[in-house]
Amino acid sequence: MAQVNPAGATPAADPNSIDPRVFPPSARRGSECRELQLGGARATELVEQYGSPLYVIDEAAARDRASEVRVALESEAERIGTSATVYYAGKAFLCVEVAQWMAEEGLAIDVASGGELAVALAAGVDPARIGFHGNNKSEREIARAVEAGVGTIIIDSEVETERIARAAAAADRRQRVRLRVNSGVHASTHDFLATSHEDQKFGQPLSEAPRLVEAILAHDSLEFVGLHCHIGSQIFATDGFRESARRLVGVYPELERIAGRPIPELNLGGGFGIAYTSAQAEQAPEVAAIARQLADIVAETCAEAGVSVPQLAFEPGRAVIGQAGVTLYTVGTTKPVLLAGSDAAADPADLGFAERLYVSVDGGMSDNARPALYGADYQVRIANRESDADPALVRVVGKHCESGDIVVQRDVIPGDVRAGDTLAVAVTGAYCWSLSSNYNYVPRPPVIAVSNGSSRVIVRGETEDELLAKSVIPAPVAPANAG
């Protein structure tokens, strides 16, 4: 199969290894057959019970990470003389049980649609601990949020000020609001993930903040509590946070003059990066380090601006749930392809291999759209066994009718991977189920939670019959009378 080019690079890691910086902490090779276990449950047994593809969420990993992130941000805020509210960004992955986990671990919930709000409310989350985002919230969604007692609604555009004020007045409530602004800081990330440069759909220019805050304060039914800014996603360096915080705090003295009082809150969003591969794990920052640096940034900028340190808010999503998720697939076909000119040195990313093995699985871009959307890469391992076969450079691809239907762009696994093997793709807890589709009429897989060797469904999968039931089938048309 795949041969190593003598002049090329040597594959880095053991192709059977389970990197604890990428897979959930509970992931390990069992003593029997050396197959992958997640939360104490064997991968093959999970596939036998629930089918494939299969989203697996390690409950303990999700809960522990949520608590770790919350404690780190809260304790660092306390160190600089303030407090912090940590919202779980539900858009990463939200279902009723996950919302309950987050609330039980002390996190508030951030939602971005009426549907996500419905999930949080169904989970019994205290409405006062829900933040409602969105660049195009409908009047019906706004009214529902106000009536439910949602703690904070984030104003994304000028027109929303009037909409929220009307809804709050009609409900005889004083609604807390934040104003989302663009700091002009473009985080070092994929263009589609950067959300704080001015030429994009979210928020208002920071220069407009004084005028817009004045408009908010003109409504008795609104309570302005602070600014919100989100500079992007999958951010590894804190430079962008530093500059964004400096710019936001810089306008607080003027906002305080307009309001005639201190502005109590500052929401710096989320976007903390995580490792998707072992190579990326070398650069991914620790949450404690991020929290410490963010706290120092806020304290310094507030001292420079001459304002008291506001209460802080953060909205991590991927950083909480990403590593807790693994997707299991079943291999269907494999196909070796000679790399261009058999010259592996032409692309160092191909690790010195002269051949790439295409491994087709029973899912793809319908259950993980991120590689197609963002060029995202993942790590894959054979889950049902270990092998001492020569390593192969593989590209894991899906079953959809698209050449861009790639699950794992490149990784190295044992070259005897074959039909029927179970593959595990790590770090699929965030933005995989959330972005899933029925492309090519492929049903969405179920989501299961594993814990202490047991498993249970937390989101039911779909069947072909359920997809067909959505189609309106017209009554048969009688043939025209030929006589």
| CA 37 – CA 47 distance, rounded (Å) | 12
| CA 235 – CA 271 distance, rounded (Å) | 6
| CA 88 – CA 68 distance, rounded (Å) | 13
Q: Which of 324, 432, 429 is nearest to 374 (CA)?
A: 432
Q: Which of 142, 88, 152 is nearest to 120 (CA)?
A: 88
Instruction: Give Cα 413 distance to the centre of its chain.
Output: 26
CA 382 vs CA 35, 309, 411, 427: distances in Å: 8, 50, 11, 15
End-to-end CA distance of the chain: 67
The one catalytic residue in 33, 95, 302, 401 is 401
Would you tell me how many other CB atoms lie within 10 Å of the CB of residue 172? Answer: 8
Active site residue 95: no
Q: Which of 140, 89, 93 is nearest to 114 (CA)?
A: 140
Instruction: Give Cα 60 distance to the centre of its chain.
Output: 18
What phi, psi does 226 have (nearest 5°)?
A: 155, 180
| Pairing relationship of beta strands 222-228 and 265-267 according to DSSP bridges | parallel
Task: Locate 137 and state its tokens.
Answer: 């919230």
Task: Locate 196 and state its tokens.
Answer: 């704080």
Contact at 8 Å (CB) between 306 and 32? Answer: no
The DSSP 8-state label assigned to residue 297 in this structure reads H
The three state secondary structure string of 437-473 is CCHHHCCCCCEEEEECCEEEEEECCCCHHHHHHCCCC
| CA 137 – CA 135 distance, rounded (Å) | 6
Would you tell me how many other CB atoms lie within 10 Å of the CB of residue 377? Answer: 18
| CA 173 – CA 49 distance, rounded (Å) | 49
* Radius of gyration of the CA atoms of the chain, in A: 25
CA 104 vs CA 68, 73, 101, 203: distances in Å: 13, 17, 5, 31
| Pairing relationship of beta strands 222-228 and 36-38 according to DSSP bridges | unpaired
Residue 414 parent element (H or E): strand 406-414
Task: Locate 36 and state its tokens.
Answer: 């992958």
The Cα angle at residue 150 between residues 320 and 80, in degrees rounded to 5: 55
Catalytic positions: 401
